[in-house]
Amino acid sequence: MATDNMTWTKAASKTPVPTHTIARPSRTLGVQSYVPELLKGTALTMRHFFTNAKERLLGQKRDPVLDNFEGGITTIEYPEERRIYPERFRGLHRLTVRADDSPRCVACLCCSTACPAQCIHIEPAEYADGDERRGYERFPAAFVIDELRCVFCGFCVEACPCDAIRMDTGLHPVPYDSRDQFIYDKTQLLALTAPDGTRRTDNARHEPGDPTHPGLSRDHDAH
């Protein structure tokens, strides 16, 4: 294996590298006739079959995560059985809402900027004339996430200054028939909830007039 012409590799050391030769597996008549191995293999599959058949017949099916029976196999029968996802599992995105059920998102584009997969598309829009939020913050006229492109890194959640986007739904995108079914628009994202079924967050958004946060104002002169 000495390669003198390969200059990009490290030069071989002067002292010989200790090696040992692995014996070639002997192909005895038993191996070549295929019969003992055949019987062994069949016995193995049969053992699995009988162990599992027994568990089912006696109504003793084990918990696929907690119980391991000796020499057996534990398979989670998805989708009837589902692995329990950890609390911080990053699943499908959802948009959180304010007290009046409007999205918390202020269309600052932090998330779409942070997204390495560029799967978030936001069309910011101004509030109508006379709305108290006009000129102070914007809202997303369109908020679209392509879940097929998403790499589930969670950067969008970290980038969001308003706690408006979260990945705590506990859902993973199910396989669909066509690509357009993976594209979630604003209504779909708003409809998704946390695993406990709520859409609001404990992390309250403080509006002007909140006594715990004096000084909040939407008056332009205050900025």
Partner 1 sequence: MSGTELFVAVIKIAIVLGFLLNMAAITTWADRRQSAMIQDRVGPNRAVIYLPAWLVRAVVLGGGVLVAAAIAVPFWAKHPGLESARITTGIEIAILVVWTTLLLISARVRKDSDGVAPYRDGADSAFEERVAQLAPRTYFYAGLIAQLAALFFAQLAPAGFIVRGSSFGPGVAGSLAALAILLAAGYSAGRVGEDPVPLRLAGMLHALADAVKLIWKEDLRPRGADRLLFALAPMLAMFPALVTMAVVPFGSTLCFIDFDRDKVLSFADLAHLAPVVGPSGACSAGQLAVSLSIANLDVGLLYVFAIAGTGVIGAAIAGWASNNKWALLGGLRATSQMVSYEVALGLSIVGMFMVAGTVNLQKLVDWQGQNAWGIFVQPLAFVLFLVALVAETKRVPFDQPEGESEIIAGYFLEYSGMKFGMFYTGEYIEFVFSSVLLVTLFFGGYHLPFLDPDGLRITLGSDLIYELKLTHLAVSAIHIATFFGKTILMVWLQLFIRWTLPRFRYDQLMRLGWTRLLPLALLNIVLTGAAVLALESAGEPLGNAVAIAADISQSLVALAALGGSVLFVTGLLEPSRTKRITASSAAQMALAEGGIRAGKMQA
Binding partner 1 (rule: CB under 8 A), the pick from 83, 187, 211, 222 is: 83
Contact between 174 and partner 1 per CB under 8 A: no
Instruction: Say whether residue 171 binds partner 1 (CB under 8 A).
Output: no
CA separation for the pair 110, 161 (Å, rounded): 8
By CB under 8 A, tell whether 86 contacts partner 1. yes
**Residue of 12, 31, 68, 198 that binds partner 1 (CB under 8 A):** 68
54 binds partner 1 (CB under 8 A): yes
Q: What is the DSSP annotation of 77-95?
A: -TTTS-PPPPTT---S-EE
If one asks whether residue 55 binds partner 1 (CB under 8 A), the answer comes out as yes
27 touches partner 1 by CB under 8 A: no
Q: Does 80 bind partner 1 (CB under 8 A)?
A: yes
| 59: contact with partner 1 by CB under 8 A | yes
Please, what is the minimum distance in Å from the beta carbon of residue 162 to partner 1?
30
At closest approach, how far in Å is the CB of 59 from partner 1?
5
* Residue 46 binds to partner 1 (criterion: CB under 8 A): yes
Residue 49 is a binding residue for partner 1 (CB under 8 A): yes
Question: ∠ CA(114), CA(167), CA(187), 5° rounding?
Answer: 95
Count of residues interacting with partner 1 (CB under 8 A): 43
Whose structure tokens read 């406990």?
A: 196
How far apart are CB 136 and partner 1 at their closest, in Å? 43
Cα–Cα nearest to 92, from 192, 201, 190, 221: 192
Q: Does 176 engage in binding with partner 1 (CB under 8 A)?
A: no
Q: Would you count residue 128 as binding partner 1 (CB under 8 A)?
A: no
Reduce the DSSP state of residue 108 to 3 states and report it: coil
Sign of the Cα pseudo-torsion (43, 45, 49, 51, in order): positive
Of 84, 98, 93, 87, the closest CA to residue 155 belongs to 93
Q: Give the CA distances from residue 155 to residues 15, 64, 145, 161, 185, in Å, rounded to whole numbers and listed in that order.
A: 51, 33, 14, 12, 19
Q: By CB under 8 A, is residue 53 in contact with partner 1?
A: yes
Sheet arrangement for strand 183-184: 120-125, 139-146, 183-184
Report the chain's C-alpha Rg in angstroms: 30
Tell me which of 3, 8, 21, 77 binds partner 1, using CB under 8 A. Answer: 77
User: Omega of the bond prior to 79 within 30 degrees of 0, cis?
Assistant: yes
Site for partner 1, rule CB under 8 A: 35, 38, 41-42, 44-46, 48-70, 72-77, 79-84, 86
